[in-house]
Structure 1
Amino acid sequence: MAPALLTAVVVTLWIGVANKSIQLSRAPDDYPLRALTACIACIAAMFTLGLPSVSGVLDRFATGLHSLTINLGIMTAVYFLLAFFTYTVRGPAAQRRVRLEALLLLAALAVVTTTWSIAPLAVQTAPASTAVGDDPHATVFVLAVLGYLGYVHSQTLWWCVGFIRVTRVARLRHGLIMICLAVVTYLAAELTKSALAIAQLVDALPQPTVETINSTYVALIGVGTLIFVVGVSYSAFAGMLAAAAIWRAHRRQYRELQPLWSALHEAFPDLALSRLETRPWYKLFGQHGTHRRFYRRMIEIRDGLVQLAPYYDRAAMANMEAELRRAGRSDADIADITRMTMITAALRAKATDAPVAAAEPMVIDGGHDLDSDARSLVRIARRMRDHRPSGGSTPDSSSISAAP
């Protein structure tokens, strides 16, 4: 494999390892995630050993040891991939099946290691090299490794196709499709190399053809690995992008709710929830802190609106709605303006302790969740900000951390 392509594969793999490790730290008892993380970590470690600057380290202990280690590591990696799909389908009850598959792995590893240990030095140095393809030890080594890989990849492809048929989550389906493409690429590479090993043993191909077929095999492995890492990380990265959009929306809404929150907080200071400083320090920053501040502010606003119930004058607002409708205002503008006016009037009545006799609870023009209510309350807060008298007592916020 070309050094540039190999380096790109290694970097991509370690990014995938970091991504899965973060997920695993949040769900350490997730058996499928454990297996998938171990799989990517094995692949990343083995491709790292293939770097020219690293490959010679193991050979200082024994000639060709890095080649043996890489092959054993890749076989272990695909075992963990099979364990991932087995756990995903059968849950914790799959442990017996996973252990049985481990026995098959150990048998294959034993065959590969024994063949390598009794092979000539030239084969030990590079058992998969086309230069030693006519040696039976090299042929057995290659067929043992690729035979086990093909067995696991064929089962993996079967599971992937089944998952694609039943999944309804778009980003998960896209990730599975990419994993299927990667596995098909791996199978094509394994069939290519196996056919080449047999052909070289019987001396059925000229050397230029051998080199061409071997280059095709190497290219298929590199492309398949890149596709595989993208596939297993696609769902997580897509989810992170979606979470980033929600984080930005909550951050913006938090700031825009400031005028409404300040007015209600001044009227009902006892409704303030516990301070953020009581939480662990890592919750105060990043997305966790932003979401918590946003939901905290929303809850305090809604509590304040409920406490204002005795001061809402629905009859007075009905007259305003009629005037706005005669003026040709849209239904959305009428709802926002009347609610803003109702809240402002209720706050003034609360300040003078003058409840309205025919008060009714205020209805927020939202949905059945907090985020839809937030969109309605943000529109009200904007109108309060635009209609706030200069020099008023309602403070503004230029930072998400300026107020609790």
Structure 2
Amino acid sequence: MAPVLLAVLVVALWIGVLDKVVQVWRAPEDLPLRALAACVVSATVTFTVNLPPLRPLLDLAGAGARSLVINVGTMAAAYFLLVFFTYSMRGPSARRTVRRQAVPLAAAVLVALTAWALAPAAVRADPADTANGAHPHATVFVVAVLGYMAYAHAQSLRWSIAYVRAASTARLRRGLIIVSVAVCAFLIADATKSLLAVLQAVAEPAAGLVRVANLGYLTGVGVGTLAFVVGISYAAVTGMVVALPVWRAHRRHYRRLEPLWTAMHQAFPQLALGRVPATSWRARLGAGSTHYRFYRRVVEIRDGLVLLGPYYDAAAAPAGPESAEAHWARVIREALRAKAADSPVVEADPVLVPGGDDLESDARLLTGISRELARR
């Protein structure tokens, strides 16, 4: 594989690793997610150790060590992908099925290791190289590795199609369709390389045919890997893109609510809500903390406005052509002064400061009041 294409694949895979690590960190009990993360990590290690700067380092461990890591890593990635779809469709009750699915993997790895160990040193260095295709040990090695991967990818493709039909959202469905395309590409690559290995074992195909078949295999791997990374990250990335305007709005409202929140906090310090529970420590970091702090600030302001009830002047009328926000800022300011003087209004207004139809519209109204409150 060309170094530039290999580098692109490695970068894409590491992006996928970071994405899955964050997701597993947030939901460590999610079995399908854990299996998918293991799949991405296995594939990433496989491609990373094949980078030109790292290849000599792994070759120091012995001739063929890098080849073993690459091939066993790709088999593990195929297995964990199958585990992901199995858990996704059957849930936690599929643990026994997942253990049974490990049996073909173990058998294929054992056959491949045996063939590799018995092969001559030149073949052990790279048994999947087409130059070694006529050697029986190389044939057994390639067929064992890619035969298992073809089996796992075929099963994964069946599950992925079923999962696409059961997907609850369009975003998830699109991501799964891309993953299905990736699995198809992997399956084509597995079949192409396996057939080439068998053909080289029983005949001597033309050099041009070998090159074309090997190019088809590498193309399937490259296209499949890129599509796989895009597919598994699609839902998360598009979800973040869609959520970005909401995150920015909450961050902006949080800052603009500070004058009103400060006034409520000084008048009623006992209303400060508790911090993030220890069981929700993940919410302290990332975009989620912005939403949490925004919700907390709105709730604390509303609680303060409730306690200001005895100090509102029901007879307060708009002072000229002022806006609703300016009117309520003036009413709240006078109520805060009455609260500071411990002088509740006899005929207090039982109606609270009006709010919006939902939290977002309520925050916009409170933001306007906060802005007016800060001007005076």
Shift of 1:185: 0.9
Cα gap change, 1:153/1:274 in structure 2, threshold over 3 Å: closer, same or farther? closer
Contact 2:314 2:347 in 1 (8 A): no
Aligned to 2:82: 82
Counterpart AA for 1:49: V
Aligned to 1:221: 221
Aligned mate of 1:362, from 334, 344, 352: 352
Q: Deviations over 1:160-208 (max 9, x none)?
A: 2222222233332232122111111111212222232233334364212
Task: Write the distance in 2 (CA, Å) between the matches of 1:279 and 1:197.
Answer: 54
The range that moved more, 192-201 or 97-106, is 192-201
Counterpart AA for 1:259: P
Are positions 1:38 and 2:28 aligned together? Answer: no
Task: Write the distance in 2 (CA, Å) between the matches of 1:269 and 1:29.
Answer: 38
Aligned to 1:113: 113
Task: Write the distance in 2 (CA, Å) between the matches of 1:242 and 1:24.
Answer: 21
Q: Deviations over 1:356-390 (max 9, x none)?
A: 5262222533234x3442122112222333xx33x
Task: Write the distance in 2 (CA, Å) between the matches of 1:315 and 1:28.
Answer: 57
Aligned to 2:335: 346
Shift of 1:156: 1.1
Shift of 1:214: 0.8
What stretches of structure 2 of length at least 5 have no aligned partner?
A: none
% identical aligned pairs: 51
Contact 2:313 2:345 in 1 (8 A): no
Aligned mate of 1:382, from 355, 358, 371: 371
- CA RMSD of the aligned region, Å? 3.1
Contact 2:305 2:353 in 1 (8 A): no
SS in 1 for 2:127: coil
SS in 2 for 1:357: coil
Task: Write the distance in 2 (CA, Å) between the matches of 1:154 and 1:242.
Answer: 34
Contact 1:313 1:360 in 2 (8 A): no
Task: Write the distance in 1 (CA, Å) between the matches of 2:61 and 2:247.
Answer: 52
Aligned mate of 2:362, from 373, 378, 386: 373
SS in 2 for 1:128: coil
Task: Write the distance in 2 (CA, Å) between the matches of 1:56 and 1:195.
Answer: 30
Contact 2:89 2:163 in 1 (8 A): no
Are positions 1:98 and 2:98 aligned together? Answer: yes
Contact 2:63 2:125 in 1 (8 A): yes
Cα gap change, 1:140/1:269 in structure 2, threshold over 3 Å: closer, same or farther? closer
Q: Deviations over 1:90-113 (max 9, x none)?
A: 222211111111111111111212
Task: Write the distance in 2 (CA, Å) between the matches of 1:131 and 1:173.
Answer: 42
Q: Deviations over 1:55-91 (max 9, x none)?
A: 3344444422321331122111211111122122222
Contact 2:115 2:137 in 1 (8 A): yes
Task: Write the distance in 1 (CA, Å) between the matches of 2:154 and 2:282.
Answer: 44
Normalised by the length of structure 2, the TM-score is 0.87
SS in 1 for 2:54: helix
Task: Write the distance in 1 (CA, Å) between the matches of 2:8 and 2:268.
Answer: 58
Contact 2:26 2:282 in 1 (8 A): no
Q: Runs ≥4 in structure 1, deviation > 6 angstroms?
A: 278-285
Task: Write the distance in 2 (CA, Å) between the matches of 1:238 and 1:48.
Answer: 27
Cα gap change, 1:16/1:203 in structure 2, threshold over 3 Å: closer, same or farther? same
Task: Write the distance in 1 (CA, Å) between the matches of 2:13 and 2:187.
Answer: 20
Contact 1:367 1:373 in 2 (8 A): yes
